[in-house]
């Protein structure tokens, strides 16, 4: 079995709605996304998927949607209203709940799965150098 891995670093802000603790307040992270694809066979050029292609497609999506954005729970009307008052902003809304590392990992996994199907093995989202969440399917 072959496994390819790319890493994309991005900065984003978020807060956790109804959380009791520091993460209740708006704050930011330098996130690190790891995307892993696997295959038993290689293409005619010897790749699972060309790293350049992976970085272009996934990196572009992250840059357009999450990098330097505020990641917001759709139920967080107070924060959405505050952000709406800004002239310059980039907001990405999650209908599935708080923008935790777990939710980001699942969301990115689903996006990569649309591009590459069952080649996607897992996605990790590092929220800090010491902790990450990952999503994969059995």
Annotated active-site residue in 7, 56, 68, 137: 68
Q: How do residues 11-60 score in pLDDT, each as one tens digit? A: 999 999 999 999 999 999 999 999 999 999 999 999 999 999 999 999 99
Is 29 assigned a catalytic role?
A: no
Annotated active-site residue in 23, 29, 102, 134: 23
- Confidence at residue 138, expressed as pLDDT on a 0 to 100 scale: 84
How far, in Å, are 76, 88, 103, 130 from residue 118 at the CA level? 34, 38, 20, 29
Place of tokens 């996130």: 31
Please give the model's pTM, rounded to 2 decimal places. Answer: 0.96
DSSP state of 23: G
In the chain, the domains with their CATH numbers are 2-127 (3.30.479.10)
């Amino acid at each position: 079995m072959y496994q390819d891995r790319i890493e994309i670093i991005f900065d984003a802000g978020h807060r956790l709605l109804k959380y009791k603790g520091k993460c209740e307040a708006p704050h930011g992270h330098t996130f690190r996304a790891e995307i892993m694809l696997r295959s038993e066979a290689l293409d005619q050029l010897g790749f699972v998927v060309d790293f350049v292609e992976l970085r272009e497609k996934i990196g572009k999506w992250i840059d357009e949607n999450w990098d330097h954005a505020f990641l917001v729970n759709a139920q967080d009307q107070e924060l959405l209203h505050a952000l709406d008052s800004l002239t310059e902003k980039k907001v990405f809304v999650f209908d599935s709940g708080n923008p935790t590392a777990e939710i980001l990992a699942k969301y990115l996994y689903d996006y990569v799965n649309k591009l590459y199907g069952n080649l996607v093995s897992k996605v990790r989202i590092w929220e800090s150098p010491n902790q990450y969440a990952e999503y994969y399917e059995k």
